[in-house]
Amino acid sequence: MHLTKFPDEHGRFGPYGGIFVAETLMAALDELRDEYERARQDTQFMAEFHHELRHYVGRPSPVYHARRWSELLGGAQIYLKREDLNHTGAHKINNTIGQALLARRMGKKRVIAETGAGQHGVATATVAARYGMACVVYMGADDVVRQSPNVYRMKLLGANVVPVSSGSRTLKDALNEAMRDWVTHVADTFYILGTAAGPHPYPMMVRDFQSVIGMECLTQMPELAGRQPDAVIACVGGGSNAIGIFHPYLSYEHVRLIGVEAGGDGLNSGRHAAPLSAGRPGVLHGFRSYLMQDENGQIIETHSVSAGLDYPGVGPEHAWLKDTGRAEYVAATDDEAMRAFHDLCRYEGIIPALESSHALAHAVKLAPAMDKDQILLVNLSGRGDKDINTVAQLAGITL
Amino acid sequence: MSRLKQTFAELKARKRVALVPYITAGDPNPQMTVAMMHQLVASGADVLELGVPFSDPMADGPAIQRATERALAHGVSLRQVLDMVAGFRQQDSHTPVVLMGYANPVERMGYETFAGLASVAGVDGVLLVDIPPEEAPHDIMAVHGLDMIFLLSPTTTGQRMQLIAQRASGFVYYVSLKGVTGSNQMDLNEVEARVPVIRNLCRLPVGVGFGIRDAETAQRIARFADAVVIGSRIIEMIEQSPSDQILTRLDEFVGGIRSALDAGKP
């Protein structure tokens, strides 16, 4: 089976993905799919995308050999893909540049987005400022309080941040509200969805824009390490950074692909955000995939120390990669992620995002049992400056 | 003949426009739902639309979102909603009941299981907002005698209307605005121009809803539609009424709409 050939023409990855939205959005999704299809074959469009990634985002992001940390763990060599060094501090900007260029191409003057931790909101507000578009960001009311520095960043960039007080007042509710806005303003508004989820063509489109991460690694790893890694590890919330680094490696069958979900207080506690590890397939937010749900099909509240992973669903391509066995999915708890966070700060001088710390935590589990000439490539999807309040709070410190 | 088909045939013979009120099952509490359904019929409803609460009601405005949250706070599940319909059927074997909700609770139960249980409970039609015709389980529903209702929107192309016409039964539901339920930006002229286009492509009765808030608008819609659906306005009234007055207030409001519809039809 050629896993690289997915999705099919209906936007499906095996039984997952597809389009599950109200009729009002069908025309908009058709328009988006057709325009994206034209854009990806338009050399001028793709040239501008890559020009922006190079000169505005600062790509390619380096791959870095974390020598001291590897030595500390005493096994495999760990390499980090430094998405934290991108403009705005995370991989999210790769996708928002791509979608904003598409919005401009479609003549849309207003962009909207959902955000959890605020990273995608900041990346959207950034490109809206860059291209002169009006920008509205929906954010769960609880997240607005938890992530106040990012709220202010978005405002500085000219975005209107709308707190969402319905449901669980977090990312999933922000997504619902963004969808409602889109239905209402569908003629002049482009919805910049932040992760490789949602109705077709979003999972494919976000993956394509984020695949620059893995494409660069394919070149960088042989240059730096002399070969491709034995395993690629990335954290998975909605799954955009993971699919971005996994996808170019799909046909490299000897490279293990490992997605790390948010284990929260532990998978047995029920307080986590790990639908692939402990959920069941269902339909939410326009697509079919694994979901955190109760026996009545209601979506249940998730928990993670990292707001960016605090989402009850997961991108449909990950569901398919899990079922086909091409990728493995595991979970790291809040505590494990925190330990890896502190390790990287102290041994490498890099403050990682709490999201990325989940991927690091799995490297901590794998590396010691591996040979010293084996290689783990970890996607360091974002920097942790945004998380210092959370980390301080956990340590009982008020900043 | 399905109960919906028969009802619309009878109404047509009587030159009466169907009044289709919506309430969310379990709002304000599960004990009141069946009594409210009976009250709606007594006040002039021809078809009942019963909302199945879902944690993430993406296509609904604030009023129905709040109703959903109230129902979920009582733990109302799809199974309980079916029990409510069965309870309603003990005294009313005539009025069609349409369940309106989202895919996931039905997915979780399983389409086949759901269709069997719904049919036994006395459900007549099913509208799943986030299931487009391409993904619809209309065949499974048909086996169990359930009509599959679909939304049509101002952005639906002629080609999609044909697809929907093939898979729909009972009636089709024209969403009279670009937006969520209960919004306040309906363009009556647009709706009036659109309904004949739908009729051209689809032989089913045409209901209009999303954004009908008063008797005057309902009356105008009734001049060219077969059914008028009212939801958010009713939900707002329920949440503003003390529970011992809800039935009276429903009667006043729905009765008022009924009179306006009957007076307005030539």
Considering only CB atoms, which chain B residues are within 8 Å of A179?
Answer: 58-59
Select from B105, B129, B160 the Cβ nearest to the Cβ of A22.
B129
Cα-based distances in Å from B164 to A76, A176, B132, B148: 57, 25, 9, 10
CATH number for position B226: 3.20.20.70
How many domains is chain B built from? Answer: 1
Q: What is the pTM of this model?
A: 0.96
Considering only CB atoms, which chain A residues are within 8 Å of B61?
Answer: 180
Contact assignment for B104 to A282 by CB distance below 8 Å: yes
Active site residues of A: 92, 114, 381
Residue type for position A335:
D
Per-residue pLDDT, A326 = 98
Residue type for position A244:
G
pLDDT over 80 (residue B178): no
Contact assignment for B132 to A23 by CB distance below 8 Å: yes
Q: Which uninterrupted H or E stretch holds A82?
A: strand A77-82
Considering only CB atoms, which chain B residues are within 8 Å of A299?
Answer: 55-56, 104
Residue B176 or residue A195, greater confidence:
A195
Contact assignment for A283 to B102 by CB distance below 8 Å: yes
Select from A184, A282, A285 the Cβ nearest to the Cβ of B107.
A282
Active site residues of B: 49, 60
Interface residue of A20, A191, A193 to substitute, partner B, most B CBs within 10 Å? A20
Considering only CB atoms, which chain A residues are within 8 Å of B57?
Answer: 176
Interface residue of A24, A168, A176, A182 to substitute, partner B, most B CBs within 10 Å? A24
Residues of chain B above pLDDT 90, percent: 89
For every residue of chain B, DSSP letters joined together read: --HHHHHHHHHHHTT-PEEEEEEETTSS-GGGHHHHHHHHHHTT-SSEEEEPP-S--TT--HHHHHHHHHHHHTT--HHHHHHHHHHHHTT-SSS-EEEEE-HHHHHHH-HHHHHHHHHHHT--EEEETT--GGG--HHHHHHTT-EE-EEE-TT--HHHHHHHHHH--S-EEEE-SSSSTT-S---HHHHHHHHHHHHHH--S-EEEESS--SHHHHHHHHTT-SEEEE-HHHHHHHHHS-GGGHHHHHHHHHHHHHHHHHHH--
Is residue A21 within 8 Å of residue A286, measured between CB atoms? yes
pLDDT over 90 (residue B210): no
Q: How far is B209 from chain A (nearest CA, A)?
A: 13
Select from B61, B102, B155 the Cβ nearest to the Cβ of A24.
B155
Q: Which uninterrupted H or E stretch holds A16?
A: strand A16-17
Q: Which two structure tokens, joined as six digits, stand for B221?
A: 């819609």
Give the distance, in angstroms, between the CA of residue A142 and the centroid of all CA atoms in the same chain: 20
Interface residue of B107, B128, B172 to substitute, partner A, most A CBs within 10 Å? B107
Q: Would residue B153 be called left, alpha or beta, if left means φ above 0 and alpha means ψ between -120 and 50 degrees?
A: beta
pLDDT over 50 (residue B266): no
Q: Which pLDDT band holds residue B1 (cuts at 50, 70, 90)?
A: confident
Q: Which residue of A has its CA nearest to B59?
A: A180
Contact assignment for B79 to A296 by CB distance below 8 Å: yes
Per-residue pLDDT, B180 = 80
* Interface residues of chain A, partner chain B, Cβ below 8 Å: 10, 18-24, 26-28, 166-167, 172-173, 176, 179-180, 183-187, 280-286, 291, 293, 295-300
For every residue of A301-319, DSSP letters joined together read: P---SSGGG--SB--HHHH
Q: Count of CB atoms within 10 A of residue B166's CB?
A: 10
Per-residue pLDDT, B185 = 67
Per-residue pLDDT, A148 = 87
Is residue A379 within 8 Å of residue A357, measured between CB atoms? no
Select from B103, B178, B180 the Cβ nearest to the Cβ of A20.
B103
Contact assignment for A298 to B153 by CB distance below 8 Å: no
Q: Which uninterrupted H or E stretch holds A155?
A: helix A148-156
pLDDT over 60 (residue B265): no
The DSSP symbol for A59 reads P
Per-residue pLDDT of chain A (399 residues; tens, 9 = 90+): 688 899 999 999 999 999 999 999 999 999 999 999 999 999 999 999 999 999 999 999 999 999 999 999 999 999 999 999 999 999 999 999 999 999 999 999 999 999 988 999 999 999 999 999 999 999 999 889 888 889 999 999 999 999 999 888 889 999 999 999 998 898 899 999 999 999 999 999 999 999 999 999 999 999 999 999 999 999 999 999 999 999 999 999 999 999 999 999 999 999 999 999 999 999 999 999 999 999 999 999 999 999 899 999 999 999 999 999 999 999 999 999 999 999 999 999 999 999 999 999 999 999 999 999 999 999 999 999 999 999 999 999 988
**Could you list the residue range(s) of the whole structural domain that residue B26 is in?**
3-264
pLDDT over 80 (residue B179): no
